[in-house]
A and B are shown apart, each in its own frame.
Chain A
Amino acid sequence: GENVEQHPSTLSVQEGDSAVIKCTYSDSASNYFPWYKQELGKRPQLIIDIRSNVGEKKDQRIAVTLNKTAKHFSLHITETQPEDSAVYFCAASRTNFGNEKLTFGTGTRLTIIP
């Protein structure tokens, strides 16, 4: 089955700086890679996703890159703000006109230092 590794487990950055979280996956057939943000005591919520037919996707201060050859993908947050503090999870799944299970990484606790 799929195995997703995520690094680092904790990350502290100064407000306004950039944060990068990296994930690797094992199943070369995986084709969908979402990122979820979970604030303390809340549910995980999707912030951005990327499919295997593109290499990069951006949404305002958030971007995700995908390297299929190396089987890794990364989340980039620029101009970080205090409200970016949360736990971030990457995930991978192999989907083809049907839902298949999302395998999550172990999470990165991001702390933005004012």
Chain B
Amino acid sequence: DAGVIQSPRHEVTEMGQEVTLRCKPISGHNSLFWYRQTMMRGLELLIYFNNNVPIDDSGMPEDRFSAKMPNASFSTLKIQPSEPRDSAVYFCASSSIQGIGTEAFFGQGTRLTVV
């Protein structure tokens, strides 16, 4: 398996534009997480899905952010409209249910720059 695949790897956009980040989890994994990483705030969980259902989106900063998981092999994180403070590295991670505690595998991340 190629691991968790994210696209694009880098995104530069102008303030006010819509941005869509994509993630393909590891085949067979049934949990998917979106994290945002900044120097100031570290790794923050934005939202996570179990079996394609959003379980906790309390980390989504505001209504400009939305996430979907239409099937087990694909998820998107959308920012509309984007703002300079959204600049960060966005990681997608996936894991599978194996009782107590399971490793989360991270994708390579998408570095977003909003100018």
Contacts and interface: CB of A to CB of B under 8 A. Distances in A.
A joins B in a complex = yes
Interface of A: 1, 31-34, 42-46, 49, 51-53, 89, 93, 95-107
Interface string B39-55: 00011110010100001
Nearest to A34: B103
22 contacts: A1-B58, A31-B100, A34-B101, A42-B108, A43-B108, A46-B103, A49-B101, A51-B101, A53-B100, A95-B100, A95-B101, A99-B30, A99-B50, A99-B95, A99-B97, A101-B45, A101-B48, A102-B33, A104-B42, A104-B43, A104-B44, A104-B45
B110 to A, nearest CB: 11
A51 B108 contact: no
Given A99-B31, A106-B42, A43 B109 contact: yes
A43 B107 contact: yes
B100 A51 contact: yes
Interface of B: 30-31, 33, 42-45, 48, 50, 55-56, 58, 91, 95-97, 99-104, 106-109
B57 to A, nearest CB: 11
Contacts of A49: 101, 103
Contact of A98 (B44, B50, B107): B50
A105 B45 CA distance: 12
A35 B16 CA distance: 37
B91 A99 contact: no
A43 B91 contact: yes
Nearest to B3: A43
A15 B101 CA distance: 33
Nearest to B39: A107
B100 A96 contact: yes
Contacts of A43: 91, 106-109
B102 A99 contact: yes
A98 to B, nearest CB: 6
A32 B45 contact: no
Nearest to B4: A43
Contacts of B58: 1
